[in-house]
Structures are given as C-alpha cells and as structure tokens.
Amino acid sequence: MKKLLRLWPIFVLGIMTPISILHVDFVLAPILIGFFKVNSRLFSCIILGGIGFFELWVWYQGWSGLADLLKQFFEEDIEFMKKVLGEIKSSGILEWVKVFFVRRYFRLAKKAEAVKKFLRGSGYLSMFMAGLLPIWGPRVVCDFLCGTSKWKKGFIALAVGNFVKTAGFVFGWNSVFH
C-alpha cells in the first residue's frame, strides 16, 4: 500500500485529465450564469476564479510531486533508468506503470524545453500572458514548467492571469445571459 501511496502524483494527474473537460470559462461559467441565473458578477468571479485557481494548483502540485517521484526513482535504483531506456524489461505491473509514466514525462519535458527557455527568459509577464489565454494548451505547458521546476512565483503570475481571464469571461457571459 505504501508503494501505491508514493505514486500519488500519477493518480492526481490521471484524475485531473478528465476533470479538465469541465472548462471553467466555456462550461462552468455558462452553467453558473445562464442555467443557475447567478446575477452577481463579483460572486461569479470569486467562485469561478477560485475553481480555476484550484485546478491550476492541483496540476502544479501533481507535476511538482511527479518531479520529486522521478528523482526518488533514480536515487533508489540505477537499473530503473535502464528500464526506462528499454535496456532491461520491467517486472510487474507497478514497475511497468512507473516506467510508462517516466517515459511520457521525459517526452513531454523534452518538447517543452524550448518553451521553458522562452518563458523563463521573459519572466513573469509571459506567465501572466499565458494565464490570460482562453485555451488550455499554454496554461497546461506553463503549469507543467512551473511545477517541475518548482517556480512558485511563476505559478502565481500564471494564476493571476488565469483569474483575470476568468473575470473577463464572467462579464462576457453575464452580458450574453442577462
């Protein structure tokens, strides 16, 4: 059981993936404002902005935990790296899961390296601007980068941008439904 609990970041990220379909701006905001007829823009901003922040924070914690978990895997067992590289076959379902996720993580980290250099170079403004974008991709990549590098101030800039964007959507949906 302890071995399974150690894999909490994998479970968190696995659970968050389907939950992300409930997009705060395009799904939850119209439901709250249109279906439930919430007229208070301030209340809607606080509720939806809080949900958006919580979602980003859970992703951040998951990526941060995954980075720590991978570090532990490599510190524990040098042969694990050989399994990740495909030199040795993994034995057992738990080990296969670990190898599978480490390989996926490395592919994602490799693709995000160029983006990471740009975002780290341009600092907090880039994170804030990524938070303003109404599509998932840039926020997910930035959240991944902040979580794996444990860049808390960058995450805060991303979360503030996301809150401002959500507030804009609240005002937009309010004008549509009221």
Tens digits of per-residue pLDDT, 138-151?
888 889 888 888 88
Residue 157 has pLDDT above 90, yes or no: yes
Whole-angstrom Cα distance, residue 88 to residue 109? Answer: 23
Interior CA angle at 70 toward 155 and 95, to 5°?
135
Picking from 59, 23, 50, 48, the residue whose alpha carbon sits closest to that of residue 141 is 59
Q: In sequence order, which residues have a C-beta less than 8 Å from that of residue 125 and are 6 or more positions away?
A: 157
Residue 120 has pLDDT above 70, yes or no: no
Q: What is the mean pLDDT of the chain?
A: 86
Element (H, E) at 110: helix 93-122
Query: Domain total for the chain?
Result: 1
For the residues 113-129, what does the mean pLDDT come to? 78
Report residue 28 CA to chain centroid gap: 18
Q: Which domain holds residue 66?
A: 2-177
**Pick from 59-68, 101-110, 149-158, 161-170: least confident:** 101-110
